[in-house]
Chain A
Amino acid sequence: MEAILIDFFKIACVMGVVLFICAYIVLVERRVCAFIQDRLGPNRVGIPLWIRKDGSAITLGGKWALGQPLMDAFKSLLKEDYVPAHVNKLYFWLAPMLAMFPALVVFAVIPFGSQLGGVPMIVADVNVGILFVFAVASLGVYGIVLAGWSSNSKYPFLGGIRSSAQLISYEICLGLSVIPLFMQVESLKLTSVVAWQTNHLWLICYPWNWLPGLIYLASSFAETNRLPFDLPEAEQELAGGYNVEYGSMKFAMFFMAEYTNMIAASALMVTLFLGGWSLPFVPVTGGVVVGLAHICIFLAKLFALLFFFIWVRWTLPRFRYDQLMELGWKVFLPLALANVLIVAGVIMVGWVK
């Protein structure tokens, strides 16, 4: 009974933290892009604490627009939930949920800390961890494809086609790029990947893991529909792509799904390549302080990667559809395959123990 309660508590915490990061990473993105573009960015809305009699409010952190995500969420919730007449209602409703669901579920198997009071800091330590991640993450494409298809409209349709092709092809690269890691770790469990990295160096420190790291990073950009691979949306080409017909909270769901996916991809990258919650010179086992330190280390790495995602988005232009496919199939796929062989050779020679 106690174990179940602890599990529920963990799930609630993880969901809460992920959705919190999701809301605030939007704010971070807007501030960072404003910084990159020499603008101010959001700098008005604070968190309302108290409303005075004359209607003015005492707010917290207005300079940093800390209340912006809250207000955005309110706005989305209060907007009219408009469903166009020409859509396929069932799938139209289903799509945003399908987009959001897999992105959240992925966090179940990601070790975000070592332990806290003897409780492992992972929701479910599945022994096929990485397979679970890919199985669930690949469901995310249904959300976008269904949105494009059910909208019965030209731009969403094109967006849907693009995303189905793009996500499926990059999933292959993504999967192939991490195979070498598990050959070295000899386990599919994500906790053992981190444990291996606490005993050895981080996986990214080995030269033969640089290429898969790069492929993984690029593919995760494609998987999360972020620039330079945001073709299913492609504001300037498809006027917003698959989510053109959506409004209010349903649109917000897609929006959140994109960011949750981004967080999931970064979290996975941290776990696989950057040593998870471990950091040199920080003890692997210890009391509550060490446990909390591990969680903070994980979050710090996560934010560093998220910052990288944002940075890239506001620097690079977008690929063209066929160039994207060429890059995926003709460059990344053969390289990832070759890399599996290279690492197999490395293991055979005995450079990794």
Chain B
Amino acid sequence: MGPSHPCTHGVLRIVLELDGEVVVNAKPDVGFLHRGDEKIAENLTYNQFVPYTDRLDYLSPLANNVAYVLAVEKLMRLQVPPRCQYIRVICCEMARVASHLVGLGAMALDLAAMTVFLYTFTERERLLSLMEKLTGARLTNSYTRVGGVARDLPNGWIAELRKFLDAFPKMIDEVDRLLTRNPIFMNRNQGVGVLPKDVAIDFGVTGPNLRGSGVEFDLRKNHPYLCYKDFEFDVPVGTKGDCYDRYLVRMEEMRQSVRILKQACDKLPDGPVNAPDLKSVLPPKEQVLTKMEQLIHHFMIVTEGPDVPLGEVYFGAENPKGELGFYIVSKGGGVPWRMKIRSPSFCTLSALPYLLKGHMIGDIAAILGSLDFVMGECDR
């Protein structure tokens, strides 16, 4: 099956051994989208790599940007101002909603409920327009920089976000009515692709898929980063670990993200958006044009990269697909010596042979849809 098949969401190839319609053996074959991102990182300054993180999980580029710069900032022991943290949280949660919308839509589409897919994409369009206003791009946002973000929020943007947040839950309810209690949908998902707790942990599955299996583990709660401590939100957890639980977890996570976003809109502090660190953050343009020292810093950051000390660091962020981790080894200077990306989709897909065994061909579509993976991130 694959690498180009409607339900493999990209270029996943699965070698299937069938008995009639029942899967006897399944072997995922990944790597069709391998671009060598980790190697490319060794030749780029830290800021230059931000656009490459867009292309990891291309459904939630903003969250990838944030996860990446947080890793670099952890290595540099750089603290960003609170306004920047709030903006980043808003970015992450918007990306989460956008990504889950695709995940849900694709899952419904795999079960032939095409209308849901179009509903979720309409809503995602609204989010993408907001992102476009914020970052200048719809999909490849590249919004964050080491020590800050590319630019502050545009005027009136928060009001537009609020308008979206008020309208959005209605659409979730509509999908809820179409799918959640639909007997066909329940039959297709309940008891299908069961991933028990211990197996999920063994395979290193993270994110909504892990929580669907009943493990209450969310990096935003368990190892709070940014300013997630300031927000009230619940971590939805499944019980059985089947496709239906994963679906429910995603639905609830969208609602919780809306909750976080609303709080973030209310609490958003004023102040600078970039860390006051001349060695790593670009100074404002008017200062570059008028002041000698700022000009030199600007030149050095653009040509040599931010000043990162010797050392190594791992940072994992709770992304829509799971824990996206960056392991960076620095020998000083503006370019990493080695970078390893821990991609949640790769770990999730490693559980496929276990999940698919004994199921029917029709279930493959349901299971792949419920896992919500992205090959760009898996193959890197």
Contact = CB atoms under 8 A, between A and B. Distances in A.
Tell whether A pairs with B: yes
Interface of A: 33, 36-39, 158, 161-162, 227-228, 230-231, 234-239, 314-323
Given A37-B114, A321-B360, A239 B6 contact: yes
B21 A158 contact: yes
Given A317-B111, A318-B184, A321-B361, 7 more contacts: A236-B7, A238-B361, A239-B5, A319-B184, A319-B188, A320-B362, A320-B363
B118 A320 contact: no
A319 to B, nearest CB: 6
A228 B178 contact: no
Contacts of A316: 112-113, 182, 184
A237 B364 contact: yes
28 contacts: A33-B114, A36-B115, A37-B118, A37-B119, A38-B119, A39-B118, A158-B21, A162-B21, A228-B112, A228-B184, A234-B112, A234-B362, A236-B109, A236-B365, A238-B361, A239-B5, A316-B184, A317-B108, A317-B111, A317-B188, A318-B112, A318-B113, A318-B362, A321-B21, A321-B360, A321-B361, A323-B187, A323-B188
B217 interface: no
**Among A237, A315, A321, residue most surrounded by chain B Cβ atoms (within 10 Å):** A237
A231 B187 CA distance: 15
Interface string B331-365: 00000000000000000000000000000111111
B110 interface: yes
Contact of B6 (A236, A314, A315): A236
Interface in B1-22: 5-7, 20-21
A322 B122 contact: no
Given A230-B112, A236-B110, A317 B362 contact: no
A38 B120 CA distance: 11
Contacts of A319: 184, 187-188
B185 interface: yes
A318 B362 CA distance: 9
Interface of B: 5-7, 20-21, 108-115, 118-119, 122, 178-179, 182, 184-185, 187-188, 360-365
Q: Which of A33, A158, A228, A320 has the most C-beta atoms of chain B within 10 angstroms of its own C-beta? A: A320
Contact residues of B: prevailing secondary structure: helix
Contacts of B112: 227-228, 230, 234-236, 316-318
A189 B162 CA distance: 65
Given A316-B182, A318-B184, A320-B362, A236 B118 contact: no
Contacts of B5: 239
A319 B364 CA distance: 13
Contacts of A238: 361
Contact of B365 (A227, A230, A237): A237
Contacts of B185: 317
Nearest to A323: B187
Nearest to B113: A317
A314 B7 contact: no
Given A38-B119, A235-B6, A239-B6, A314 B360 contact: no
B34 to A, nearest CB: 24
Contacts of B122: 38
- Closest A-B pairs by Cβ, 4 of them: A318-B112, A317-B111, A317-B113, A37-B118
A295 to B, nearest CB: 34
A320 B187 contact: yes
Contacts of B7: 236-237
A145 to B, nearest CB: 16
A94 to B, nearest CB: 26
Nearest to A324: B362
Given A38-B118, A236-B6, A320 B110 contact: no
A236 B362 CA distance: 9
Which residue among B112, B113, B179, B363 has the maximum number of chain A CB atoms within 10 Å of its CB?
B112
Nearest to B366: A320
A241 to B, nearest CB: 11
Contacts of A314: 114-115
B189 to A, nearest CB: 9
Nearest to A326: B187
A327 to B, nearest CB: 9
B311 to A, nearest CB: 47
Contacts of B111: 236, 317-318
Nearest to B21: A321
B348 to A, nearest CB: 19
A39 B119 CA distance: 10
Contact of A158 (B6, B108, B361): B361
A320 B360 contact: yes
Contacts of B187: 319-320, 323
Contacts of A230: 112
B306 to A, nearest CB: 46
B283 to A, nearest CB: 47
Given A236-B110, A237-B365, A320 B188 contact: yes
Contacts of A323: 187-188
A322 B360 contact: yes
Contacts of B364: 237
Contacts of A231: 362
